[in-house]
Structure 1
Amino acid sequence: MKFEKVDFFQPLLVVVAILAFLGMGYIGSFNYRFENPLKLKVILTIVFSCIIFAAGAIFVKYKISVDETKKLDFLSEKLIVSLVIIALILQTLNMVLIGGIPLFNSVLKSNATTNIWRIAYPLFLIMINVLLAKYYNKKYLLLVVLGALIFGLNGYRTSVLGILGSSFITLFYLKKISRKLGIVFIAIIVVGMLAVGYIASQSIANQHWTLNPLELVFYRAAFTLEVFEKIIPLGGTTHGHILSMIFSSGSPRTFIGQYVLHYDVCLTSTLFGPVYLDFGLVGLTVQMLFMGVFLQLVHKIKKGIGVGIYSIIITHTLIWIETGPTDIMIWFLYLLGLILIIINFNYIKLNKN
């Protein structure tokens, strides 16, 4: 079976990634965080979530077909390149205005996600993937690397993974990734994430980390799963408050820290934590079924710039496995997928068999 013919990035990759994260957290719970390993209920809840997600994705895979997709030709190459450059300028301006490089200063990092950043990051992310999907040229890979570096200076691993990961997936579906190049690209992504995460951890005031970059990854997985473990007994008690915060104002992750651990800290709580805290097991079931169906639909119509949009959505869904779906900016990317589905609605049909 040839490397190029295997669809490594179909929606069921999310299930594989969830189980891998669970395994890392379980190992980390022994070595770095817990006195006791993860409880069985945590493991069973996550496995149940995987089953529901997979059921939604498989149903769409075998019940829906797409004859063709509409072409979106209104974006010129010059316009897209201009928007990419504008996004890089905005992020550079953002660091100038906050007074330094957040990666090396935890105080600056806490203030780095400004309104400028909220415009610059999604603009760059969307435009660079559309540029690759619609007007691929090797020279544009320099913009990918430059974007990862500039946004990586904000001190968040998710930005590096979002840019490099989605670009990699876009290139894969364009058949521009060979086996060797794929290995090199993945190595760059892993090293970049480890470096940003480790450097950022060392710059946190009043904390002295002795873990190496790899150990830190296992520790973070264990800690995030510990947060979810503490959420399970509280399932359904916030009655949609976190969801309302996502689409209004406030900090859902800080609220979770206050509500679950009772101190003022911004916490990641896995893909499952926020919805479970708001609506319990029923809400979790609805969320995972929706994601499975939605990702499979977008995957089926990934033609033209749709390749770039799917790549962005699948990448950030994978990121959500740790961080949780608490960012309205990323839900906006899901909205792009919905628009893509609506545009191509007339070409989506049920299989007869």
Structure 2
Amino acid sequence: MNLKKIDFFNPLIIVVAILVFLVMGYIGSFDYRFEDPLNMNVFLIIIFACILFSGGFLIIKNKIKVENTREINFISEKLLIILVLIALVLQTLNIVLIGGIPLFNSVLKSNATTNIWRVAYPLFLIMINILLAKYYNKKYLILVALGALIFGLNGYRTSVLGILGSSFITLYYLGKISKKIGILFIAVMVIGLMAIGYIASQSIANQHWTLNPAQLVFYRAAFTLEVFEKIIPLAGSTNGHILSMIFSSGSPRTFIGEYVLHYTVCLTSTLFGPVTLDFGLIGLAIQMLFMGAFMGMLYKLKKGIGIGIYSIILIHTLIWIETGPTDIMIWFLYLLGLILIIINRNYIKLNKN
């Protein structure tokens, strides 16, 4: 097998990541804090979901061809830099207005995702990746590192993973990542994410964690999958309420905590939990087919700024494996991908071969 010919970031990496997460969760579920290991239904449904995702991707891969992509020339390098800097200033202002560093204070962390953050984070994420994809320069990696640091102070690993992960994938497709640099980057990112998660867990009031950073990762995977296990018997019982909350008001994750565990807590429930609770296995099947086909189409459009957009959506879909698709802001990124598809619609053809 020639490793140089393998594309490590094609959409099927999502299936690989799901299976790794499932194994980690199963190992973690043997911890004494859990009544029983994960049951077979969890495995069967998640494997079913992976098959459907793969099917959606392979249909697009084999049936659709892209003859070219439309070049976007109206976004200048200077404008992109200005927008990146504005996003960093906004997030810095956000931390100042909160009154401290949320990473070290659970009360501040619970209030850290303000409207300012909701503008700053996607603005930075989108603009830094388009800047790298369209006008790559080594000096822009300083902005990536600065963004990861400033947004990481919010105490949420997902922001850091979103910035570093998407930038890494963008650089990978630009051919700017050597094997040594790639391995070093991934190692630093993994250690950094574990550190953020551990520090944030230690700052939670009324909770006293005895787990080390590595144990905490397995515990989190197991707990999230256990939430999905408890959702399975309730499949389809919320009749779209979670979906309506995503696009209106309220906290879908808190609702899931109250509905499934019967106490007020903000829960992650895997990529599969919210749709299963809302629409049952049929809804899950539709979601996974859609995601597979959608990621497959974006994969074919990864040229120019399309590289940046694909990288952003891929990394956040990977993040969704744990957190679940309950953030309207990330669905906005999917909308960005849809816009890219519409812009290039004249180049998308049915493969007759």
TM-score bin, normalised by smaller chain: over 0.9
1:1-353 matches, within 5 Å, as 4-31=4-31, 33-353=33-353
Please list the CA deviations of residues 174-210 of structure 1 after superposition, one character each: whole Å capped at 9, or x if unmatched. 0000100100110121011101100000000011101
Q: For 1:313, give the aligned amino acid.
A: I
Aligned mates of 1:352, 1:80 — CA distance in 2 = 40
- Where 1:349 maps in the other structure, the secondary structure is strand
Q: Confirm or deny: 8 A CA contact 1:166 1:315 kept in the other structure.
A: yes
Shift of 1:86: 0.5
- Where 2:58 maps in the other structure, the secondary structure is helix
1:3/1:77 CA distance change after superposition, 3 Å: farther
Q: Confirm or deny: 8 A CA contact 1:32 1:219 kept in the other structure.
A: no
Shift of 1:3: 5.2
Shift of 1:32: 5.0
Q: What is the RMSD of the two structures over their aligned residues, measured on CA atoms?
A: 0.9
Q: For 1:19, give the aligned amino acid.
A: L
Aligned mates of 2:195, 2:72 — CA distance in 1 = 38
Please list the CA deviations of residues 107-138 of structure 1 after superposition, one character each: whole Å capped at 9, or x if unmatched. 00000000000000000000000000000000
Aligned mates of 2:340, 2:3 — CA distance in 1 = 28
1:150/1:334 CA distance change after superposition, 3 Å: same
Q: For 1:224, give the aligned amino acid.
A: T
Moved over 3 A (4+): 1-5
Number of aligned residues: 353
Q: Confirm or deny: 8 A CA contact 1:33 1:219 kept in the other structure.
A: no
Aligned mates of 2:161, 2:256 — CA distance in 1 = 24
Aligned mates of 2:32, 2:98 — CA distance in 1 = 34
Q: For 1:18, give the aligned amino acid.
A: I
Aligned mates of 1:6, 1:44 — CA distance in 2 = 28
- Where 2:139 maps in the other structure, the secondary structure is helix
Shift of 1:34: 1.8
Q: For 1:342, give the aligned amino acid.
A: I
Please list the CA deviations of residues 223-269 of structure 1 after superposition, one character each: whole Å capped at 9, or x if unmatched. 00000000000000000000000001100000000000011100000
Structure 1: runs of 5+ lacking an equivalent: none
Q: TM-score, normalised by structure 1?
A: 0.99
- Where 1:65 maps in the other structure, the secondary structure is strand
Structure 2: runs of 5+ lacking an equivalent: none
1:287/1:18 CA distance change after superposition, 3 Å: same
Q: Confirm or deny: 8 A CA contact 1:4 1:178 kept in the other structure.
A: no
- Where 1:33 maps in the other structure, the secondary structure is coil
- Where 2:206 maps in the other structure, the secondary structure is coil
- Where 2:71 maps in the other structure, the secondary structure is coil
- Where 1:270 maps in the other structure, the secondary structure is coil
Identity of aligned residues (%): 78
